[in-house]
Amino acid sequence: MDAIERLVEEKLGRGVQDLVPREELVAKLRRSKETGKPLRVKLGIDPSAPHLTFGHSVPLRKMRQFQDLGHTGVLVVGDFTRRIGDPSGRASTRALMSEAEIERNMATYKDQAFKILDPVRTEVVYNSTWLGAMTFADVIQLTAKYTVARMLERDDFAKRYAENRSISVLEFLYPLAQAYDSVAIRADVELGGADQLFNLLVGRDIQREYGQEPQVALTVPLLVGLDGERAMSQSTGNYVGIGESPKEMYGKLLSIPDTLIESYFDVLTDVDVESLKKEIHDSPRDAKRRLARTLVTKFHSAAEASAAEAEFDRIHVLHERPADVPQKTLDRSKLKGDGAIWVIDLLLASGLVKSRGEAKRVIEQGGVRVNEERIESSDVDVPFHPPVLVQVGKRAFVELV
């Protein structure tokens, strides 16, 4: 095994679920070393929500490994393909998004990604640049390069087809559009989550059709979310955002099930997991604290990690109020004749819930406290003697005055 093969085996291939084909990556790296021309390593980001999550950070970290070796990371923001909707792993057609929603979500993507990537070795591109310029004739030419039979080899399409469930022609265009992204940027390697393997392999086929050397497909495992069951996703709320505050990030990480501690250390940090196995087994609470400090330090600073830990202990260990609770002024017209206020109106005034239905739901779940007393019913009135501390969940506080 030579140095390039060892590099792939011990570093670039570490923590990878699929590497197709491994020998082509070795060959591309050898040629890059001989010619001095860096590889172009692609990662597509779907702007379906405003935050990049720790789930996104796994392939971003892999891209950074390539950058540290002198290669170029190409971050493709799928502002055009999001209008189609990625059907990966879905049992039904995905709802379309408006351009305005997509633009709002993309607003801070670059800043978040550069918490991990090297800005000097990163190109940030938007696939509307080339996909938006295609004519209908161009689209017909692209669709002629792939067959329906091949498309139905994809697991989610095959299952829906067998069960006679709807598959729109639009959804067939998503893998082709993503594949054409690889043609447009001349990708040598494409990174993605494990659920993206089919799309990455379509990219190889389409690059051949356009006379390019096919990219290597490299996928990483999907990060399990805070619930310990489903893949991390903003749509399910089981995520930690790369751009979240130190306090929010620290608190969320301490909430993960013990079964995830080892895998989070493995894929999200550079810590040697083997050296921590005994601590994780003997004292999972301390191991989670170490994990939270490590990641808050990475995305913020050591000082902010220490402050976040101290604030967490203040609230959840010492049961003291937070140090910097935001204040809001209550509209006094909401008060009843006796100076009390319906607890639902109190929650809405705090801004910690968006609707009466949400307010009732969090009360039923035991997640509401007023002046540190748990609210058991949505039918109660609360005496309003300001300041009134309102808490929803473990980490959301507002003081009404």
Q: Is 135 in the same domain as 162?
A: yes
Give tens-digit pLDDT for 300-341.
999 999 999 998 888 777 666 676 778 888 888 888 877 889
Instruction: Detail the DSSP E strand segments found in 314-387.
Output: 327-328, 340-342, 368-370, 373-374, 381-383
Residues 301 and 374 in one domain: no
CATH number of the structural domain spanning residue 295: 1.10.240.10
Question: Does 153 reside within a domain?
Answer: yes
Q: Does residue 215 lie within any of the structural domains?
A: yes
401 residues of the chain, pLDDT tens digit each? 899 999 999 999 988 999 999 999 999 999 999 999 999 999 999 888 888 999 999 999 999 999 999 999 999 999 898 877 666 555 555 566 777 777 777 778 888 999 999 999 999 999 999 999 999 999 999 999 999 999 998 888 988 888 989 888 888 999 999 999 999 999 999 999 999 999 999 999 999 999 999 999 999 999 999 999 999 988 888 999 999 999 999 999 999 999 999 999 999 999 988 899 999 999 999 999 999 999 999 999 999 999 999 988 887 776 666 767 788 888 888 888 778 899 999 999 999 898 999 999 999 988 898 988 889 998 989 888 888 889 898 778 888 87
Q: Longest C-alpha distance within the chain, in Å?
A: 83
Q: Which domain holds residue 134?
A: 3-220
Identify whether residues 331 and 288 lie together within a single domain: no
**pLDDT score of 27:** 97
Residue type, 25: L
Residues 6 or more apart in contact with residue 176 via CB below 8 angstroms: 142, 143, 145, 146, 202, 206
Q: Residue 95: left (phi > 0), alpha (psi -120 to 50), or beta? A: beta
Q: Which of 261, 294, 316 is the last residue of a domain?
A: 316
- DSSP class of 37: P
- Report d(CA 72, CA 386) in Å as an integer: 57
- The residues pairing with 45 across neighbouring beta strands, listed in sequence order, are 77
Domain count, the chain: 3
Residue 226 in domain: no
For residues 148 and 15, membership in a common domain is answered with yes
Task: Say if 225 falls within a structural domain.
Answer: no
pTM for the whole thing?
0.80
- pLDDT score recorded for residue 243: 92
Element (H, E) at 292: helix 284-299
Q: Minimal CA–CA distance to 83: which of 166, 12, 171, 211? A: 171
First to last CA, the chain: 69
Residue 79: give its domain's CATH number.
3.40.50.620
Boundary of a domain, candidates 265, 294, 316: 316
* Same domain? 143 vs 271: no
Report the alpha-carbon distance of residue 317 to residue 298 in Å, rounded.
25
Assess whether 205 and 70 both reside in one domain: yes
State whether 354 and 301 are in the same domain: no
Q: Is the C-alpha dihedral spanning 209, 150, 126, 117 positive or negative?
A: negative
Residue 232 lies in a domain: no
CA 142 – CA 173 distance, rounded (Å) = 9
Reading the block at residue 304, the tokens are 């902010």
Q: Are residues 288 and 350 in the same domain?
A: no
Residue 230 maps to a domain: no
Q: Which of 282, 316, 350 is the last residue of a domain?
A: 316
Q: Do 204 and 260 sit in the same domain of this protein? A: no
CA dist 217 → 23, 113, 147 (Å):
12, 21, 20
Calculate the CA 96 to chain-centre distance. 19
* pLDDT reported for residue 197: 95
